[in-house]
Chain A
């Protein structure tokens, strides 16, 4: 048994140390919003945050996640789908099939955690998720809109 901190809650996990975090989340904790796409950190469908930093959970063994690391999945990004990235995605109808979008949203929100003013060059270098439907144009627009949404809500709460 190992204790993890997932979406702000301590949870007990009974899995082998070598099990990737992706499968711990999906199969042991029932958090199926995080998707399996490739298993080799190529597509980004499995992206989650570890202490606010976007990582690809399909190649992250359980043993590498400490009890104090804050794991955030798409289910825990916001309580009600109101994170600025989720708001922007809803406003622009970004998803098509949607399967890659939890990973895309976690990658984008991770980028914006570190770079709230990320520009197109940063988007190009940091958002390397694969979307076979080809939603990239709206993803890019969505990043820029999310920046605005975040600034606006920050202004409102300030």
Chain B
């Protein structure tokens, strides 16, 4: 616990309120990963976002989770921009979900997903920084007995030019805390930004280079025991019995515990002095399972289920316009193709883990989570204690990608900790457990049917999606009369469903129908970086490539002709194509893809070569992003580059297959991930057009696979319509 300073619970000046609605939205309590001035005295802050110590250290509070995507630094830049502090003095801390509850959710939403970290909070964090600045200036003006309007502030120094006096933020911070909170602030135009918008270094790098950063897996508390868990190998199966006597005398073993949770866990954990002892004993533990109703479900059954939906009558419509059947009837050429995307696991480098300390009147959890408030709610539900008697301390995540929005592992650790009251329990999943009990990227198929007129114009498109719905599996309350509109991410027209306008299709196709026949196999679905744009963009962008080819038209020109009313879309596509060498006569094979999602416009031009043995080499990618406003261009570059590794790992190698109801790919030897040798060089064009904030972590993942698949066609004449690519021959 040496590195972990627990914040004392903050007592709100406005009282204490926890309601069902705040719980439902997700919840949490404060921790920092290192001691700060704010930890010592949480009330001496300037406001909720800013604490300034007498040594001029500026601590900016970050409500969202940091999992590598750089949101921590971007949010700090936005606060610092308006605060006008010295960026070199800036550090950060995570307020806790419980403090947020206690302070009427002063930090807003903690949940970190959907590329919302910046675009969902830029307004209020900037206002927080601006308000803090006004309070600091007012405090100085009060001390000097001059009007605040005569004072200026920059780089943490406040000046009164008329009298030549100066002071610093650190000197007036304490007084500023009692200045009335401004009711109105003016935000700086991004065109005038000095810290935001700049490629500053991340705030969280140093400790990642020395091994000092404490991830959830590294938590150590006095007297702590460690646990390894095995959940039912088949979804829906149940633990029947286990023979603890077989492992009782193994070194360090304290016991075996049945773990049954409201989240579907039905398994057993072994607790020991060390995790290696616990895990070794778990592997020796005789366990009897009732494999349940899905015991015979295999991949052929998944495929049969999905194929059934391709022509079924029970589909609901997500996007429509004109009359596709009439278009098909009047067409000169029709093209049909069927695509398939498998189940995929997130596989963050840090396997799931959480640590809990339970007593009869308190439950504390330390964990890497993308949703601190949901983790607090999970701790409360699993412990049976009210929210006010629970705390969650967030760590930086060793990867999230959507997996760590779930609270399954929090429920598990609390259930185990309840058996050992007063003793901290660290639950660490093995990689094998992580592979078998993910929240998998949904598996779907799509039947694409398009038509061309005699001039080669796209006149009609029917896209039938068949397969798994994330919302049906995770949040059925979000379905609308049984329909999952998130399923239409990237392929739904603007205005048809305003909640989906950040993911609208930007091609004007005169006759279009996109519908979904929901087919849910017994696999737990989840939000996987990019969510439904991954498969939908493969379907749409690869099929548009097929249509352009059938029309005998250039794939760029074919797309641009459909984008006449979408200048931002056309701009990124042209930028990627131009820098990528599209249309040059150099004999290189190229492919294009475009997507509007998470509020941003992105495009990619991929260049590949395939040798005589069919070996693929991805030589170069040019990726263009218009995210409206770029808060940290070098981190955008990193996110875009990384998204190609994640997306292409998925397209090239990743599938999770079922046999006898059990996932077969249980570690990286059977679930490979891209390594440095295979990564294409990714050139990133950041071209913010201003006026909006779009997401960055996810959009470009959508164009990664289709751009490469279209380039593979250009190189080989082969259409890859079923992913992953790994076992399919590219030999000419």
On A, residues with C-beta under 8 Å from B are: 16, 19-20, 23, 26-28, 30-40, 42-43, 45, 73-75, 77, 81, 86, 89-90, 93-102, 105, 123-125, 127-140
Name the CB-closest residue of A to B432: A39
Chain B, 198-247, CB within 8 A of any chain A CB: 201-202, 204-206, 208-215, 217-218, 220, 226
Name the CB-closest residue of A to B276: A23
Q: Closest approach, in angstroms, between the C-beta of B358 and any C-beta of chain A?
A: 22
B294 sits at the interface (CB 8 A): no
Q: Closest approach, in angstroms, between the C-beta of B651 and any C-beta of chain A?
A: 13
Q: Closest approach, in angstroms, between the C-beta of A150 and any C-beta of chain B?
A: 16
Complex CA–CA separation, A96 to B697 (angstroms) = 12
Chain B, 403-457, CB within 8 A of any chain A CB: 428, 430-431
Name the CB-closest residue of B to A31: B211
Number of residue pairs A-B, CB distance < 8 angstroms: 175
Name the CB-closest residue of B to A33: B211
Q: Are B669 and A42 in contact (CB under 8 A)?
A: yes
The contact string, 1 if C-beta is below 8 Å from chain A, for chain B 276-290, is 100000000000000
Q: Which residues of A contact B218 (CB under 8 A)?
A: 26, 32
Instruction: Report 21 cross-chain contacts, Cβ distance below 8 Å, ordered by A residue.
Output: A27-B275, A32-B218, A35-B217, A36-B217, A43-B673, A75-B210, A90-B209, A96-B638, A97-B67, A98-B208, A98-B398, A99-B215, A127-B675, A129-B675, A132-B401, A132-B645, A132-B646, A133-B68, A135-B638, A137-B681, A138-B641
Q: Closest approach, in angstroms, between the C-beta of A43 and any C-beta of chain B?
A: 6
Name the CB-closest residue of B to A96: B68
Q: Are B276 and A19 in contact (CB under 8 A)?
A: yes
B463 sits at the interface (CB 8 A): no
B140 sits at the interface (CB 8 A): no
Complex CA–CA separation, A57 to B399 (angstroms) = 21
Name the CB-closest residue of A to B204: A98
Q: Which 6 A-B residue pairings sit nearest by Cβ, starting from the closest?
A: A33-B211, A134-B645, A99-B398, A97-B68, A98-B208, A96-B68
B644 sits at the interface (CB 8 A): yes
Complex CA–CA separation, A116 to B244 (angstroms) = 53
B631 sits at the interface (CB 8 A): no
Q: Closest approach, in angstroms, between the C-beta of A77 and any C-beta of chain B?
A: 8
Complex CA–CA separation, A33 to B401 (angstroms) = 22
B191 sits at the interface (CB 8 A): no
Q: Are B667 and A42 in contact (CB under 8 A)?
A: yes
Name the CB-closest residue of A to B673: A130
Q: Which residues of A contact B641 (CB under 8 A)?
A: 134-138
Complex CA–CA separation, A61 to B496 (angstroms) = 60
B255 sits at the interface (CB 8 A): no
Q: Which residues of B contact A140 (CB under 8 A)?
A: 676
Interchain CB contact (< 8 A) of B209 among A35, A99, A101, A133: A101
Chain B CB count within 10 A is highest, among A42, A96, A127, A132, for A132
